[in-house]
């Protein structure tokens, strides 16, 4: 594994991963990964299917607790604190939002989809909820399209709108870290570009981990990118270096040039 890009000494990483190995039963999905994710960056993860990318995201959000047979070894620190030391895993997960490949709208109205997390956190005043819903839908570039349909079922929205609703719902808990796992699989190219524009703005407010099967998407968005292959992190470096032959591993170049994967 090639050493990762140097880290600035002034600021501690938002996420520190050391010696991370993930297993499902006897099968090793990801082996001995160590990397840092900096605050207010978009950190890309690329690689072919079955390389361990989604398993990595699941480990960051402690989904191993809810996934039968999944075992995580190694250390993950979030804001300097081991994530397995949190007594209340739900408090941790409120700070880490997740957007999955396929939009999963809750069986409720657009408004209630976004207001659910704030309500669970004890917010009851309608005026406060209204402000949160509007702000999150604005940040997800969806407000103008649904502001007159807030009481309609979220499941009646188009696929691209539902994916942006999922982002708004993730943002409603004011996360410090947003994990996006191949969000554009079920989204048309126009909507994909709109969401990419949203992410560029959100980067100034939160840290984003972007798992993508589109290498050019990583190039457009990510400050740094890790390349995963067959359960190994081959390398991590400044994104442009991965696309301009400045990396030291030929496997990375073969993948980003489309020679396999």
State pLDDT tens for residues 146-178: 999 999 999 899 888 998 999 999 999 999 999
The number of folded domains in the chain is 1
Q: What is the pTM of this model?
A: 0.90
Average pLDDT over the chain reads 90
- Given a cut of 70, is residue 8 above it in pLDDT? no
Strand order in the sheet with 81-82: 27-37, 15-24, 70-78, 81-82
Mean pLDDT calculated for residue range 224-240:
96
- Given a cut of 70, is residue 10 above it in pLDDT? no
Residue 143, domain extent: 103-174
Q: Report the DSSP beta bridge partners of residue 118.
A: none
Within a domain: residue 158?
yes
Within a domain: residue 10?
no
pLDDT at 186: 73
- Given a cut of 50, is residue 3 above it in pLDDT? no
Both tokens of 34, joined, read 């160590």
Q: What digits encode the pLDDT tens for the residues 42-95? A: 999 999 999 999 999 999 999 988 899 999 999 999 999 999 988 888 889 889
Within a domain: residue 151?
yes
Within a domain: residue 58?
no
* 1 vs 89: CA distance, rounded Å: 31
Within a domain: residue 38?
no
């Amino acid at each position: 594994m090639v050493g990762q890009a140097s880290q600035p000494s002034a600021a501690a990483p938002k996420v520190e991963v050391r010696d991370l190995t993930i297993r499902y039963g006897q099968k090793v999905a990801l082996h001995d990964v160590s990397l840092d994710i900096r605050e207010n960056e978009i950190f890309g993860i690329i690689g072919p299917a079955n390389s361990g990318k989604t398993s990595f995201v699941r480990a960051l959000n402690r989904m191993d607790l809810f996934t039968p047979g999944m075992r995580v070894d190694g250390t993950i620190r979030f804001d300097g604190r081991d994530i397995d030391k949190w007594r209340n895993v739900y408090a941790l997960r409120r700070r880490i939002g997740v957007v999955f490949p396929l939009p999963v709208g809750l069986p409720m109205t657009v408004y209630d989809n976004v207001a659910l997390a704030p309500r669970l956190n004890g917010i009851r005043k309608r005026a406060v909820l209204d402000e949160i819903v509007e702000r999150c839908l604005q940040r997800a570039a969806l407000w103008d399209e649904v502001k007159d349909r807030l009481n309609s079922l979220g499941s009646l929205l188009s696929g691209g709108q539902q994916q942006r609703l999922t982002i708004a719902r993730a943002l409603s808990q004011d996360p410090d870290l947003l994990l996006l796992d191949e969000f554009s699989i079920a989204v048309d190219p126009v909507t994909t570009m709109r969401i990419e524009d949203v992410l560029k703005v959100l980067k100034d407010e939160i840290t984003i981990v972007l798992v993508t099967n589109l290498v050019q998407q990583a190039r457009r968005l990510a400050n740094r990118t890790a390349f995963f292959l067959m359960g190994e992190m081959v390398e991590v470096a400044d994104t442009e270096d991965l696309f301009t032959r400045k990396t030291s591993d030929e496997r990375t170049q073969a993948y980003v040039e489309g020679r396999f994967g």
